[in-house]
Amino acid sequence: MSVLSWVTVVLLLHLVYSGQILWRMKDHVHKTQQARIKHTSTAIPKKGTIHQPLNHFDRKNDKTFPQKFFVNDVYWQRSDGPVFLYIGGEGPLSKFSVLFGHHVLMAETHGALLVALEHRFYGQSLNPDGLETETLTHLSSQQALSDLAVFRLYISRRFGLSRANTWISFGGSYAGALSAWLRGKFPHLIYGAVASSAPVQAQLDFSSYNRVVANSLMNEAVGGSKKCVAEVKGVFAAVEAALLMGNETEVGKDFGCCETPLKPEDKTELLQSLADVFMGTVQYNEEGVAFSIAELCDIMTNESEACEAYDRLVKIVAMYRARENVPCLDVSHEKLVLELSNTKASSSYRQWFYQTCTEFGFYQTCEDTHCLFSHVSTLESQTELCSRLFNIPQDSLPARIDFTNQYYGGNRPQTQRVLYVNGNIDPWKELSVVWNDTMVDDDRVILIDGTAHCMDMNADKSMDKPALHQARKEIERRVAMWLKSAALHHMV
């Protein structure tokens, strides 16, 4: 098969959900954080379930689903103490959401009641048929915000709250966007919101993700270099060339693939898996994933072993598999489609992919010249799954993305008392609010130098960068200012 014909087939057949390893690295970060704190707390939060309407916007539909929540009232000053709401995102909610983190430390300072709500259709918050396509029509950010509004009313009644109990919301990544949107859509319920690494701008073709990955791998302040970027770009060209020349068996063995990548779509999945190692390293730099940017670039640029860049990439993948306990790289396209089609699966892949098709896009493509990886990861190839899995036409996606931005305001929202916090090496900052260009709120952005995804949400550690320490102090100052302002307002 010629080079041109193989690329053409990939463009037509590649249906791979970009980011399998990236998603697993995210899960690993959460598990690592929980493992660090698992044995340091004796507090037992209250766990509960609220039965939410399946569809908040159809009063004729009386179906409900169970939604999990946690409460920690250890620090609460019951008369007028504030309420800190931790918003769950695209995955299971843990009890640690009300036990640890920067928001918990602030709750202790301000005598706040801590509550957390799991996102509908993730974790335990779904019906037995919750992942059927027909039921997934009730999975949306709008429904999730209504869940939060109902939950607020439930907590207020259960704990006898009044106007004197000021609500502040917190969230990171997609949940960070929900935190900002909750304040925007329900300003009478939420007084202030902290939105960490929040992609509030929906974008179909998120090619800028990989541009930031390249810039971060070049950033000397975090251990990157121009040489690192050149080596990465060159080695992906070498792997792609090896696959094009018919060396699939050798390449599959080199990278520890579960099966030989003979089919065009399996070759593309392998290339995406290799890219995910670098993408995940940048997104979660120094947060417990297999590598830091500094370590990854050190290996890629180390010529002392007298080996080619290809061999250094093989070493990186072997180290990744050992550190993440991955026996082999699963590059089967068929298995991936089966996993995303499984309506009984315990993972969150299917639900989140549905939301990318219906609301957000966020497809991390690699078609422009800035991308370091294989250019076969295209928008066409990624969005074709929307049609195959959910019968959502590809040509309907732009209108869906436009609606999301019109409904919420994109990255120029007209809201007050929303604090957007981002790290400057995090690719998701491209879809957040990172500058002040409106008169709505003069002081609402924190951009942290040398920091990756959602790192501000963790409690302070001695090894954290000074900029991160300072950012947390600034978040504390803003939250304290909001609570003081709310108290004065309640006295009027």
Catalytic residue among 14, 28, 103, 453: 453
Length of the chain (residues) = 492
188 is catalytic: no
119 is catalytic: no
Task: Tell me the C-alpha distance between 223 and 221, whole Å.
Answer: 6
Structure tokens at 260: 């030989």
User: What b/e string do you get for 151-188 counting C-beta neighbours within 10 Å, with b at 16 or more?
Assistant: bbebbbeebebeeebbbbbbbbbbbbbbbbbbbbbbee
Catalytic residue among 147, 205, 426, 464: 426
Secondary structure (DSSP) of 222-248: GT--HHHHHHHHHHHHHHHHHHHTT-H
Helix axes 466-491, 102-110, angle to 10 degrees: 40
Catalytic residue among 94, 125, 173, 273: 173
Residue 172 pairs in a beta bridge with 196
30 is catalytic: no
User: In a 10 Å sphere around its CB, with 0-12 CB exposed, 13-18 middle and 19+ buried, how is residue 139 labelled?
Assistant: buried
Query: Whose CA is closest to 224, among 54, 450, 477?
Result: 450
Task: Tell me the C-alpha distance between 418 and 433, whole Å.
Answer: 10
290: three-class secondary structure by DSSP: coil
Q: Which residues are catalytic?
A: 173, 426, 453
